[in-house]
A and B are shown apart, each in its own frame.
Chain A
Amino acid sequence: MSAIAMTAIPTEGFTPPGPGDFNLPPVGYTQETAPTFEFLGQTMYLGVTKPMIQLALSVVLIFAFFYYASRKRAMVPGKLQYMGEAGYGMVRNSLARDNIGSHDFMRFVPFLVSMFFFILVNNYFGLIPMVQLPSTSRSGVAYALAIIAWAVYNWVGITKHGFIGYLKHQTVPAGVHGPVLALLIPLEFFSNIVVRPVTLALRLFANMFAGHILLLLFALGGEYLIAEMGGVYIGAGLVSFVMFMLICVLEMLVMFLQAYVFVLLTAMYIAGAIADEH
């Protein structure tokens, strides 16, 4: 389909955005002068890249927000304190307490709150002008976050049930006996221990990546249609820009939802790991 559309265009000068647009050279270098190193057979850039700065900046922003929101601790909250309380309360009540249960949810609240706001801010970097790159659209960030979540829910499960007990708890479904177990245990192990962190990371990464590539496509395509093609294509370019704005609104929703889903699933996995029985 796209090949047919491409041949209809008289000048084939438009290069659609691809995964390469996310692999920015380190700050202060261009693509040619950047130092590189070999890692697992891939050539990688050596240096401080834009997502790294964004990750550090997000920590500073979240710290400043909660520091100033909680500094006064007035009985009648001001605007900033209200925002802080609302954000914290949402994660604590609807994510942590409703999933983990009111008995021992409190010790996971700091972890879940920091994870939620870290992912949220890093997602929204994709829409802030001049930044325009969600740091979670780099797969390494998503993998790291998923490994942290995986380590936490396995760790609390192992400390509660013991290593063998935890493995039994996660792989043997209750009320199943006999030869069916030979089929179910590998399946449960695969889905609970292996697939969970992979889907957790890929969901966050691929949503951010796909959404951002869609934005790039409509912005660059619209700009190309108007600036390079001209004439009757200006109308199509304007439509493309309208689509860009509509997808920006959709992305605002998706970015929030992905942070929410990530933390919701983490809370559910923790709840499953510390549950007494099925």
Chain B
Amino acid sequence: MLGYGVATIGPGLAVGLIFAAYINGVARQPESQGRLQPIAILGFALAEALAIIGIALAFVLGA
């Protein structure tokens, strides 16, 4: 579980970068929000999947 805490750094950074890029894009071009939002959420979900697989493995291997 301690290792999992360390492992969340990567996906955490990735999610942060994705939303930073999304906010930047919308701030520069507000009309692109509709097109960027699904892409941002898809990228967020894919980056988050790594953290999710991590927590599943933590329980599987810990049990």
Contact = CB atoms under 8 A, between A and B. Distances in A.
Interface of A: 1-2, 19, 98-99, 199, 202-203, 206-207, 209-210, 260-261, 264-265, 268
Given A210-B55, A264-B38, A264-B42, A1 B2 contact: yes
Given A1-B2, A202-B49, A203-B49, A265 B42 contact: yes
Contact of A261 (B2, B34, B45, B55): B45
Nearest to B44: A261
B27 interface: no
A83 to B, nearest CB: 23
Nearest to B53: A202
Given A19-B59, A206-B55, A210-B55, A199 B38 contact: no
Nearest to A95: B38
Binding site of A, secondary structure by majority: helix, strand, loop or mixed? helix
Nearest to A99: B38
Nearest to B46: A199
Contacts of B34: 98
Nearest to A209: B55
Given A1-B2, A203-B49, 7 more contacts: A2-B2, A199-B53, A202-B56, A206-B55, A210-B55, A261-B45, A264-B45
A199 B55 contact: no
Point out which of B42, B48, B49 has the most chain A C-beta atoms below 10 A from its C-beta.
B49
Contacts of B44: 261
A210 B51 CA distance: 11
20 contacts: A1-B2, A19-B59, A19-B63, A98-B38, A199-B49, A202-B52, A203-B48, A206-B52, A206-B55, A207-B52, A209-B55, A210-B55, A260-B41, A261-B41, A261-B44, A261-B45, A264-B41, A265-B42, A268-B38, A268-B42
